[in-house]
Amino acid sequence: MLDAIRWDTDLIRRYDLAGPRYTSYPTAVQFHSQVGTFDLFHALRDSRKALRPLSLYVHVPFCANICYYCACNKVITKDRGRALPYLQRLEQEIQLIACHLDPAQKVEQLHFGGGTPTFLSHDELRQLMAHLRKHFNLLDDDSGDYGIEIDPREADWSTMGLLRELGFNRVSIGLQDLDPAVQRAINRLQSLEETRAVIDAARTLQFRSINIDLIYGLPKQTPDNFARTVEEVISLQPDRLSVFNYAHLPERFMPQRRINGNELPSPAQKLEMLQRTIEQLTAAGYRYIGMDHFALPDDELAIAQEESTLQRNFQGYTTHGHCDLIGLGVSAISQIGDLYCQNSSDLNHYQNTLAGAQLATSRGLVCNADDRLRRAVIQQLICNFSLDFAEIERSFNIDFQGYFGALWPQLQSMAQDGLIELDRERITVLPAGRLLVRSVCMVFDAYLEQQNRQRFSRVI
């Protein structure tokens, strides 16, 4: 793993295509409105019978300020009272879902995302966690992975103390960039001191893991000023780092229309930013996990990758892919067995549906046999950078080369280009291909030809 990535500019130019991030297969683009609450109840019953462990995702959509780059489902408001009716409906949803599950099903993973979860007051956070503990089997011995997204402008020592007391042991901190000119261009003024204070609090309070999010490709960024941000972030020693490529899609995300397209770095500058970031992080001892993610060698993600047990779901890379994922809140996505389903993305519709004692499931998909097979193939490639044909053949009772015969010319072409190594037994993603692993996964995506590629960000 020491040679985890090799930078090959020519290969990147040829394979840097737009495509899915594969937090699921099939992707959310395939979800349709024929899936509803009946399918969800059916899947919950199967989960209950099998006593499968759980992962909970709770979406808190509120933010006090708008960040122009953001593509999340959010509600911008200074009115903290907006949270109260939402929390009432969220608690209803928790109750309606939990009564279809068994109290013996342990919640191994919990994640609060947004929006800004700490938009909620301390009392609201206490009440929400108490409600979750009442209806779900949350672990109280600190052995679960219980994380929350933090905006350092919305958190202080007392907030961090409260979160630790409530059972959270992981934090993910949005930083994006430290350069003041970039911050003004994206309407997110956040000092290094604010960020360091939250990290110091997390370390003192013995949070198990700290993740920092960065974005390259933002307005007014240059390779030099972004390298300085990365240098400062390395000095903070987070356990994990996410370095995302900014996808400028103003036609889809209204806040991005406030960004001046003329101030965006060129594709060549973006490539240089990524290359220098990888060099800086590798020199500092971080491992490339895949898909924009880096971790220290003793982090659980790095260890899981070494042991070929790493998985990927709507939470991103995870060691809890064996859990049924239940999404709670507006726009939240669940993955329960072979069912994917998503709540309404419209806040009023979500609240009104639950006010009528109905779940707000609006769309989804039930995987068929081909979906399950391709999901396993993509999961192996994107998590472990390798695919053992015999393992897939045993699991799905197929002849791999026979089933995927039509794809062989594409795979052979990738092998000739040095992206992968291909033989009769396996595919191995080579160090020069690891940054482009999405492109390898896209070969196995049966839906991609029917899709509008403009919906997706580029691989790099």
Supply the CATH number for residue 416's domain. Answer: 1.10.10.920
**pLDDT at residue 1, rounded to an integer:** 43
Question: Is residue 358 in some structural domain?
Answer: no
Indicate whether 320 and 383 sit together in one domain.
Answer: no
Weakest mean pLDDT among 2-11, 32-41, 52-61, 152-161: 2-11
Whole-angstrom distance, CA of residue 429 vs CA of residue 145: 29
Phi, psi of 325 (to 5 degrees): -95, 125
Q: Quick one: 285 and 433 in the same domain?
A: no
The verdict on 372 and 310 lying in the same domain is: no
Nearest Cα neighbor of 133 from 158, 100, 102, 167 is 167
Residue where one domain finishes, among candidates 312, 328, 344: 328
- Amino acid 237: pLDDT: 97
Query: Mind listing the pLDDT tens digit for each residue in 73-86?
Result: 899 999 999 999 99
Distances (CA, A) of 374 to 16, 51, 427: 22, 26, 14
Q: Is residue 208 part of a domain?
A: yes
DSSP character string of 136-189: SEE-SSS-SEEEEEE-GGG--HHHHHHHHHTT--EEEEEEE---HHHHHHHT--
3-state helix, strand, coil in the chain (%, to 5): 45, 20, 35
Shared domain check, 406 and 285: no
Residue 133, strand partner residues: none
Asked if the model's pLDDT at residue 456 lies above 90, the reply is: no
458 lies in some domain:
no
Domain interval for residue 232: 27-328
Do both 19 and 63 map to the same domain? no
Q: Does 346 fall in a domain?
A: no
Number of Cβ within a 10 Å radius of residue 375: 18
Judged by phi (left if over 0) then psi (alpha if -120 to 50, else beta), residue 418 lies in left
Q: What is the pLDDT of residue 435?
A: 92
Total of domains in the chain = 2
Do 173 and 275 lie in a common domain?
A: yes
Average pLDDT over residues 402-408: 96
- The reply to whether 287 and 379 lie within a common domain is no
Burial level of 82, CB count in 10 A (0-12/13-18/19+)?
middle
pLDDT given for residue 16 in this prediction: 85
DSSP 115: S
Q: What is the CATH number of the domain that holds 245?
A: 3.80.30.20
- 191-215 pLDDT, tens per residue? 999 999 999 999 999 999 999 999 9
- For residues 42 and 108, state if they share a domain: yes
Instruction: Provide the H-helix boundaries in 335-368.
Output: 347-355
* Whether residue 418 has pLDDT greater than 90: yes
Tokens of 69: 């780059």
| Residue at 337 is within a domain | no
Q: Do both 312 and 414 map to the same domain?
A: no
Same domain, 65 and 3: no
Scanning the structure block, which residue is given the tokens 């000119």? 181
With respect to residue 360, please indicate whether it lies within any of the assigned structural domains.
no
